[in-house]
């Protein structure tokens, strides 16, 4: 008897109705991805710190998202290269809690420049010796260090006593080794933009860092899974208040993020939506690039209103 092998078509999980429509019944705004310029990896939600405002809900031993292993990352690095990726970026949790982190960076740097978001405290400081040889790659490795506030006491309220000084120590060590560095801080409600800028310049000067160190500011994204009321973004909003150029600047238009969850690797739309399974677009990058991205997450409003982006590209 003639037998044929029929490939099984796995059904994608259905999206919620809110993916397509606002509560007022209007068509939801969408972003159509145009490129994979940057590929992010979530290294897991385990962190050495437990900041109450963390958008990932990270803390010591946290397993909401699993630690990334080399064997998890390598196939996506290889696939991304076939899609023309220009940079690999890594966020956590604290990436240097993941034991394969330096090996993953070593592989990724053989192909493209990389960026790591870090709190620059214990886990990074302990691995500075392992990081130094990565300077030999032709592709550059950039670190972005979180400093919530220019005032050490205010920074330490969320991160723990002594963490401001330790983060500056890590930042300075990276700079002295020859890595390029930048700083991320929250938008501060208790000081004007000019005061914030002057405050950080003073901190950088005292630490022996360049006064004009690049600094990226973020709004409060709120902890994961929180129902935050924000205005809904309709398809009409995306053409009335946005242009072709601004739509192309959304992270979900030119990047993706790889997440390990329940022993499965998934491609998410961006770095800000891994608490919502609707944003798990596919299991391969190639498939994920075909999926329009809904603006239904409350953090999408930060992109819409403030142009928020984790990217430095």
| DSSP-assigned beta bridge partners for residue 265 | 260
Q: Where does this chain touch ligand SF4 (CB under 6 A) — which range of 47-55, 95-103, 145-153, 246-254? A: 246-254
What's the DSSP call for residue 59? B
Query: What distance lies between CA 193 and its chain's CA centroid?
Result: 24
Q: Where does this chain touch ligand SF4 (CB under 6 A) — which range of 2-10, 91-99, 197-205, 265-273? A: 265-273
Angle between helices 101-109 and 70-82 (to 10 degrees): 20
Q: Where does this chain touch ligand SF4 (CB under 6 A) — which range of 79-87, 143-151, 153-161, 264-272? A: 264-272
| DSSP-assigned beta bridge partners for residue 267 | 258, 282
Q: Using an 8 Å Cβ cutoff, are 111 and 81 in contact?
A: yes
Q: Which is nearer to ligand SF4, 124 or 295 (CB)?
A: 295
* Interface pick for ligand SF4 out of 123, 250, 276, 288 (rule CB under 6 A): 250
* Interface pick for ligand SF4 out of 93, 104, 299, 311 (rule CB under 6 A): 299
* Interface pick for ligand SF4 out of 102, 242, 295, 311 (rule CB under 6 A): 295
* Helix (H) or strand (E) segment spanning residue 107: helix 101-109
Q: Of 249, 255, 287, nearest to 271 (Cα)?
A: 255
Q: What six digits make up the tokens of 280?
A: 């798990």
- Rounded CA separation 275/173 (Å): 34
- C-alpha distances in angstroms, 278 versus 31, 54, 76, 101? 14, 21, 21, 28
Residue 31 interacts with ligand SF4 (CB under 6 A): yes or no? yes
* Interface pick for ligand SF4 out of 98, 101, 272, 285 (rule CB under 6 A): 272
Q: Which is nearer to ligand SF4, 273 or 280 (CB)?
A: 273
Cis check for the bond before 60: say yes or no (omega within 30 of 0). no
Residue 310 interacts with ligand SF4 (CB under 6 A): yes or no? no
Residue 252 interacts with ligand SF4 (CB under 6 A): yes or no? yes
* Interface pick for ligand SF4 out of 269, 280, 281, 285 (rule CB under 6 A): 269
Q: Where does this chain touch ligand SF4 (CB under 6 A) — which range of 15-23, 111-119, 182-190, 245-253? A: 245-253
Please report, as ranges, the residues that interact with ligand SF4 according to CB under 6 A.
31, 250-252, 269-270, 272-273, 293, 295, 297, 299-300, 303
């Amino acid at each position: 008897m003639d037998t044929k092998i029929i490939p099984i078509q796995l059904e994608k999980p259905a999206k919620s109705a809110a993916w397509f429509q606002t509560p007022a019944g209007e068509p939801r705004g969408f972003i159509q991805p145009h490129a994979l310029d940057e590929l992010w990896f979530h290294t897991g939600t385990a962190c050495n710190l437990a900041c109450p405002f963390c958008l990932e809900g990270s803390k010591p031993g946290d397993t909401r998202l699993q630690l990334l292993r080399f064997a998890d990352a390598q196939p996506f690095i290889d696939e991304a290269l076939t899609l023309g990726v220009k940079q690999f970026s890594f966020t956590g949790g604290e990436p240097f809690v993941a034991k394969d982190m330096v090996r993953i960076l070593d592989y990724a740097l053989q192909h493209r420049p990389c960026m790591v978001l870090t709190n620059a405290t214990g886990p990074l400081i302990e691995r500075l010796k392992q990081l130094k040889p990565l300077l030999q790659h032709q592709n550059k490795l950039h670190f972005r260090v979180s400093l919530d506030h220019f005032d050490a006491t205010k920074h330490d309220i969320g991160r723990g006593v002594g963490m401001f000084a330790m983060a500056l120590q890590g930042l300075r060590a990276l700079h002295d080794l020859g890595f390029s560095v930048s700083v991320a801080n929250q938008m501060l409600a208790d000081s004007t933009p000019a005061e914030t800028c002057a405050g950080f310049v003073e901190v950088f000067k005292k630490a022996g860092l360049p006064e004009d160190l690049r600094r990226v500011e973020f709004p409060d994204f709120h902890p994961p899974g929180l129902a935050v009321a924000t205005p809904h973004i309709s398809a009409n909003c995306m053409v009335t208040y946005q242009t072709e150029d601004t739509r192309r600047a959304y992270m979900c238009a030119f990047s993706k993020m790889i997440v390990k969850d329940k022993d499965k690797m998934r491609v998410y739309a961006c770095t800000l939506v891994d608490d919502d399974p609707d944003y798990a677009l596919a299991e391969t990058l190639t498939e994920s690039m075909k999926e329009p991205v809904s603006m239904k997450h409350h953090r999408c409003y930060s992109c819409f209103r403030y142009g928020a982006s984790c990217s430095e590209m």
